[in-house]
Amino acid sequence: MYDYIIIGSGFGGSVSALRLSEKGYKVLVIEKGYWKKPEDFPKTNWNLKKWMWLPSLGFKGIFKLTIFRHLSVVSGVGVGGGSLVYANTLPKPKSHFFNSGSWNTVDDWEVNLAPFYEIAYKMLGANINPKLFQADEIVKEIAADEGKLSQFGPAKVAIYFGQADETVNDPYFNGQGPDRKGCNFCGQCMTGCPHNAKNTLDKNYLYLAQKNGVEILAGHQVVNVIPQLGGTYIVEYKKTNALFGKKKRVGTKGIVFAGGVLGTIPLLLKLKNTTMPDISDRVGMDVRSNNESLIFVTTPDKNVEMTKGIAIGSIYNTSEHSHLEPVRYGTGSGFWRLLVLPMISDPKVFKRFIKLILSYLKNPLKWLRISWIRNYSKHTAVLLYMEDLEGKLRFKRGFFGLKTSVQDGNPPSAYIPRAHDLAQKYARKINGVCQTFMLESLAGIPSTAHILGGAVIGKDKNSGVIDKNQKLFGYENIYVCDGSAVSANPGVNPALTITAMTEYAMSKIPNKK
């Protein structure tokens, strides 16, 4: 019998594990992914077996691509969750985030969460990026051209910089953490840092939690939760992707759902239809992305070098509600070239198809040169544009599992005029072309690296799935602490916010008597 079982080891799960162990609780973390050491990461994303998560094919990497009817989602898998594959970026949302969405009238979130953002910065080892490189400098030029140079600056990121490639004793936790090595700006952050410089969760929250006695069971996934008389629960789990494997059972007094939107929401929807019918009817609603665009700008110019630096080194606040980040992969990581097509700036299907054909016919030689570029990542900057304006979906269970349908308002769009305009400006500066994922160009399905919501905060179970302390309505001692609980569109990379919200939720749980 455990005091708490935590389902997932991403930002919410890792924070929960450490804070509950500090309060004296016996904690088990169940993670469907696997432990990863620096030598386990692929050198490039062409090594699909080490990079991608497709366990049915034997691919047990850290990167997962999930395609729904209205959205394609990229996410992370492994002990440490999304921290293994994310771009280290830790921006704090603007005031609009705290005063919108289902949690708007529940509490003063900007005030309540302020001290927990500071704790999150400290725990994640936030530092200002000390060096800008070519991909960043071009965005800086665009900001200057638009008269907004003051809105451009280096990103705050979860990286230990120190001296490049120099190993030092733990610089963060008074010697209680692991040794670290200084960043050498190789650009490999999103395929897994091989140099021990990235502040992934297995080097802070999880590392310290294990010292407190937290058990971490990797390579297993939870398939059922069964409430018991007396307020306890039985959790059933099995080996990841085991179709016929025997289920195991373990008892617990409390549960933290922290498997990310793509783990938590399908499980909650299943439980509502089976063993936990009192879960709010709003589960699966208010799913949102950051209303983002991912645009690849590629040039045949041999003088361009886009791989040098960190994954996201700078941010340009393009307006009160939006910003632009230049993203990079390390040298040789050109897998995405197989999945992109010319960027088409038209929301209508037929016109989009015609423009796609014309784009090749107008510049056949240029596109031919692009297709034969040897080092695609060296010649490609990925522009990530985000805005905090609303666009929502609903997730629900179908005959074959999870599917999506439009809930209310406008769903996320693959066509954001401002994003396309900025990409074209970037392309002109490097004599390049703009590309997006083929599903955007062909089907108008947008992409996101930041899937959020589905179990949002509300005043009661008629307006949300969890209360202001992230406790599940209808059940005792069950919490949701991951991106599912983010109850408005932050418009920025959400890792810092998930960390701060979980710190706040865990602070409300008393010490074990």
- Residues annotated as catalytic (active site), given as ranges: 450
- Asked if 423 contacts 444 with a C-beta cutoff of 8 angstroms, the reply is no
Residue 331 makes CB contacts below 8 A (sequence gap 6+) with 44, 186, 187, 307, 375, 377, 378
Q: How many CB atoms within 10 Å of residue 130?
A: 12
The continuous run of DSSP H or E covering 53 comes out as: strand 53-54
Distance CA 62, CA 86 (A): 10
| H or E element in which residue 456 lies | none
Cβ(68)–Cβ(253) below 8 Å: no
DSSP H or E stretch at residue 421: helix 417-430
- The secondary structure of 175-228 as a DSSP string is T-S--EEB---BS-GGG--SSS-B--GGGTHHHHHHHTT-EEEESEEEEEEEE-
**HSE of 147, CA atoms in CB hemisphere, 13 A:** 0
Pairing verdict, β 433-437 and 392-398: unpaired
Handedness of CA 329, 332, 336, 337 (dihedral sign): positive
Considering Cα of 107, then 109, then 110, then 113, what sign does the dihedral take? positive
DSSP letter at 111 equals: H
